[in-house]
Structure 1
Amino acid sequence: MLTMDDIVRDGHPVLRKVADEVTMPPSQEDTAILESLIEYVKNSQDPEIAQRHGLRPGIGLAAPQINVSKRMIAVHVADQNNNLISYALFNPKIISHSVERSYLAAGEGCLSVDESIPGYVPRYARVTVKGIDLDGNEVKIRLKGLPAIVFQHEIDHLNGIMFYDHINKIDPFADIPDATPVER
């Protein structure tokens, strides 16, 4: 089981590398890694398990965050209608996105970043993501609101991009044109 000790922190070189594609079909090792990512995210949202193991709550996790430079992400989050969006994906890719933007009104955080970094992180309001699930099926997911933001955040990790790279350095809370705030 992954714990906070397994998560590399900001400044670790793996977080700035572009992760490698996972060869399909995935090896047992890659499958076990992806399973551990989704398990962490689920466990971190269970108050009892999180407290017992000192897990910081998370809604997404990417393989580079556990020092594995491969294209794998796990997301476990509710959408605006309280539907659970839960995916563990190999080689996820954003295949289309909206022109409209959005951002988390409270700003973004990251399990690999211990301090709070204030500011708006511009994201696409809607994205379509394609990837391969743990059963080897290709999935195509249309997302908006918080789930769309989470997928973009995690896919950024696969490209060596941190959320704060998107924040306006001069005015972190500058208005983002054509953007809708998303409440968490």
Structure 2
Amino acid sequence: MRERHESQAARREREFEAFVAGASGRLLHTATLLTAEAPDANPRARRLLTLALAETYASWDRLRGEDPYDRARRRLATRFAHSAWHRYGPLGRLGRHRPDAVSALAALSPQERLILVLRLYEGVAEEQTAAQLGLPAERVRMICARATTTLLHPPQEPTPTPLAAPS
């Protein structure tokens, strides 16, 4: 009996290690897009990924046919939403133009980044994104369109007024 539990635990660990080896790169990139950090300096993204993978591992035996990548991505998005709420207040109200961020996505609010990354980078359906975030699908569509417009047509910085040459 003990040997059987040990072999099941070993099999579980091998399966999870194989999953992490295959999915962690893409999930880290997703987390980096969400946090708007530089790819080579992304401590918040790495922490989000670590916590999401830990939660996925904890529920590994209960997946029962569920896609582990989908589970990990949902946990990652949920963790990001909660951390953004605690860091910036309600999603979408604060957090624009973070001075320490180098990504073009930094110009977006956390909510806009979350929806844009889920919809365009991860390819999550509008209805699924709306259900995960507890928003109407029309609201998700509108936020995604606004975020896309902001990225494609960033607000222009005011041009400096030229100084008059001394006479």
TM-score interval for Structure 1 and Structure 2 normalised by the shorter chain: under 0.3
Output the TM-score relative to the length of structure 1.
0.25
Q: Which has the larger radius of gyration?
A: 2
TM-score, normalization: structure 2? 0.26
Q: Which structure features the higher share of helix residues?
A: 2
Pick the structure with more strand per residue: 1
* Greater RCO, CA 8 A, separation 6+: 1
